[in-house]
Amino acid sequence: PTCEEDGRGALVVVEGLDRAGKSSQCEILARRLQEMGHQVRYVRFPDRSTPIGKLIDNYLRGQSQLDDHSIHLLFSANRWEAARSIQEDIANGVSVIVDRYSYSGAVYSAAKGNSNLSLQWAWQPEVGLPRPDLCLFLSISTEEAARRGGFGVERYENDTMQKRVRELFLSLIELPHNDEICVIDAGKSVGEVAGDILEPVLECMKNVDAIGPLRKLG
């Protein structure tokens, strides 16, 4: 039995620095909601399986060089190509859990030291995409992130970049129009964080019909 037979699903985004535990938490969350009888789909960006996603994957693995604007727009295009199916699922009562979204998109590009992409410029291609009903920001200090294991080999996985990304994330979540952002202390244990996440998500799923139809990012 599902609880949302006549209502729409919720769009829940999980954001944060590398090693904040986003992917593990998204998996736990999706499983728990399914066990409770909700219909759930788990999506992650970048979605490396599409033709655009393959260009992004090559870039991240250092197999190709791309202009900063160009790769930025590919990340955004990768969300736009998924937008319709997300909208359809939500309309059909399926809640969609998204691992990284527009906030990562804007913040990582603007954090690049050698580029002159402003946060404001970087946000523009996101305007009009499905707007999350809830965004969970998994907050972790750069020191704790570093304690969790060495950096990977992909582009952006270095100290300087992660510090700038953290600062920009924090400046974004303080903007007044982003009232649907919920900051989660991701420095706690996996189990504790999972509990802290579940509560606001269930609350959000209960309230989506009061919000009305899925909104668009502005």
- Measuring CA to CA, which residue among 133, 141, 137 is closest to residue 193? 137
Residue 129 CB contacts under 8 Å (≥ 6 apart), including other chains = 79, 80, 83, 102, 216, 217
Of the candidate residues 33, 60, 73, 110, the single one contacting ligand TMP (CB under 6 A): 60
How many CB atoms lie under 10 A from the CB of residue 39? 17
Residue 137's beta-bridge partner residues? 15, 183
In the complex, minimum distance from the CB of residue 152 to Mg ion, in angstroms, rounded to a whole number: 6
In the complex, minimum distance from the CB of residue 119 to ligand TMP, in angstroms, rounded to a whole number: 13
Of the candidate residues 4, 9, 94, 108, the single one contacting ligand TMP (CB under 6 A): 108
Residue 180 CB contacts under 8 Å (≥ 6 apart), including other chains = 132, 133, 134, 135
Residue 28 CB contacts under 8 Å (≥ 6 apart), including other chains = 190, 194
What are the start-end ranges of the H helices in 22-116? 22-35, 51-60, 68-91, 102-111
Q: Per rule CB under 6 A, is residue 46 in the interface with ligand TMP?
A: yes
In the complex, minimum distance from the CB of residue 74 to ligand TMP, in angstroms, rounded to a whole number: 9
Q: Per rule CB under 6 A, is residue 100 in the interface with ligand TMP?
A: yes
Of the candidate residues 42, 45, 59, 169, the single one contacting ligand TMP (CB under 6 A): 45
In the complex, minimum distance from the CB of residue 204 to ligand TMP, in angstroms, rounded to a whole number: 21
* Strand pairing category for 11-16 and 134-139: parallel
Of the candidate residues 42, 59, 75, 137, the single one contacting ligand TMP (CB under 6 A): 75
In the complex, minimum distance from the CB of residue 59 to ligand TMP, in angstroms, rounded to a whole number: 9
Q: Which range in 10-18, 45-53, 74-82, 192-200 contacts Mg ion by CB under 5 A?
A: 10-18
Q: Per rule CB under 6 A, is residue 151 in the interface with ligand TMP?
A: no
Q: Per rule CB under 6 A, is residue 103 in the interface with ligand TMP?
A: no
Contacts with ligand TMP by CB under 6 A lie at 18, 45-46, 60, 75, 100, 104-105, 108, 156
